[in-house]
Amino acid sequence: MARLSISRVVSRLADADPDRVVLVTAEETLTARELDRRSNRYARHLLAHGVARDDLVTVSLPNGAAMVVVCVAIWKAGATPQPVSPGRTPQELAAVVRVARPAVTVGCAVEGVPALGTVPGDDLDDGPLPDTWARAWKAPTSSGSTGAPKVVVAAAPALLDPDVPVAAFLPLAAAQLVSGPLTHSASFTYAFRGLLTGHRLVVLPRFDAHAWLDAVERHRVTWAMLVPTTMHRLLRLPAEQRDVRRLTSLETVLHLGSPCAPDLKERFLDWLGPERVVEVYASSESNGLTMIRGDEWLRHRGSVGRPVGGTQVRVLRDDGTPARPGETGLVWLRRGDSPAYRYLGTPGRRTAAGWDTLGDLGHVDADGYLWVTDRDDDVVVRGGERVHPVEVERVLEGHPAVRSAVAYGVPDEEYGQHVEAIADIGSADVDGATLRAFAAAHLDAPRRPTVVHVVRVPVRDDAGKVRRRDLAARHFRT
């Protein structure tokens, strides 16, 4: 079938099976017909407030039915959703809106931009709309883990063939569990691409390990996405609570978002079974991706896989020359001759030949498998030695009391920088000195954190993201 507008895809789902449940949330369940009609009404609400084709609409809503309806309505109005986390500070939100210049905002308010609620007027028609589509199907903000958030406008239009799988790891007609924030690019992409290709979405308000297991069991979930942080939280539950027999419906768990510690990955594969776990290395920019299944990963421990979907990978040294197999350098990706995105308000790092980098360090082996080490911008240089924070984080997260950890560099008069860390211990009874000693027993001198700050709140969001420099600035001041 030729590609259809997202508007027509949703209407087609409603026409084909109007009573089929397409969305399950904590507050309500929507059928295909209800989603179609509600989004029609809200699309007219947007149009009545001046939204035009190819406008951006900033959406900052928590996980729930309103987020799904509003985004579908934006596509039906011919505009582009620009999702922003509700957790952004007012200053961060204002900075994003200044760059995005949306026609309206939904779920948030920024001075100078019309702000809409999620409930349109009762007098608006819920019948079919004229067919239209935006030239960019999404414009998320990047995670901001390496600096100020960027608005990433997709080159792909709001068109797709609903009868063709979006990717090898995203099948048609699945029951998909959404536990990450829908304002994050990966959750947004796979949830909505799934919805449009026959998925029933089961959307949690946020990730909770008990709720995740209950949802899989209750709703017979077949496909779910996790990040290393949420994988770690699941494995911290007592074995009897995470009895794998509760997960018999699961066919695929995709994980991505940040480097996954090999020890964590092995424990997760042992729990769920390697054939059901797929890892993808990708980004908000969609400039390329690699993939590896769990059983393949066991033969290439630590790798994020080989290129798929027409992606090419190369690794370059600091002087721009190609690195040898196994030699660490800056990872560059290319997928096709045309760019997959454009930034608003800041230049990208794409070369004239189409190569693009996210600033990740890694290496490729002789068989073409990619390993990702860390972000180039996050590397701590202590006395001339390069220290990767992820190495410190993996050690700290190996302590049974630590739910998650973040390491970073702070100024040091003698060495230039030294390593500090923050550890989320939840309700555990352990202090920073104990964790520092634990890390010291597993790391050489340059990598040992001089201080481990103990907190009882998450240090990463449900998408597994963290902005190290913000944390470093906050704790260094204290």
pLDDT in tens, 152-184: 999 999 999 999 999 999 999 999 999 999 999
Q: What is the pTM of this model?
A: 0.84
What is the model's pLDDT at position 149?
Answer: 65
* 145 — pLDDT class (breaks 50, 70, 90): very low
What is the model's pLDDT at position 169?
Answer: 93
pLDDT tops 90 at residue 274: yes
pLDDT tops 50 at residue 419: yes
Residue 328 to residue 371: CA distance in whole angstroms: 9
What is the model's pLDDT at position 478?
Answer: 45
The mean per-residue pLDDT over the stretch 331-339 comes to 84
What is the model's pLDDT at position 345?
Answer: 76
The mean per-residue pLDDT over the stretch 140-146 comes to 64
Q: Residue 158, CB half-sphere, CA atoms under 13 Å: how many?
A: 32
* 383 — pLDDT class (breaks 50, 70, 90): low
* 146 — pLDDT class (breaks 50, 70, 90): very low
| pLDDT digit string, tens, across residues 352-367 | 567 888 788 899 999 9
Contact yes or no for 263/231 (Cβ under 8 A): no
What is the model's pLDDT at position 348?
Answer: 66
Q: Of how many residues is the chain composed?
A: 478
* 290 — pLDDT class (breaks 50, 70, 90): very high
User: What percent of the chain is predicted at pLDDT more than 70?
Assistant: 92
CB atoms within 10 A of CB 206: 12
Which residue, chain included where needed, has tokens 């899989």?
Answer: 216
What is the model's pLDDT at position 418?
Answer: 87
* 125 — pLDDT class (breaks 50, 70, 90): very high
Q: Which helix (H) or strand (E) holds 70?
A: helix 65-76
Contact yes or no for 262/223 (Cβ under 8 A): no
* 343 — pLDDT class (breaks 50, 70, 90): confident
3 state DSSP class of 76: helix
Specify which residues 371 forms β-bridges with.
363
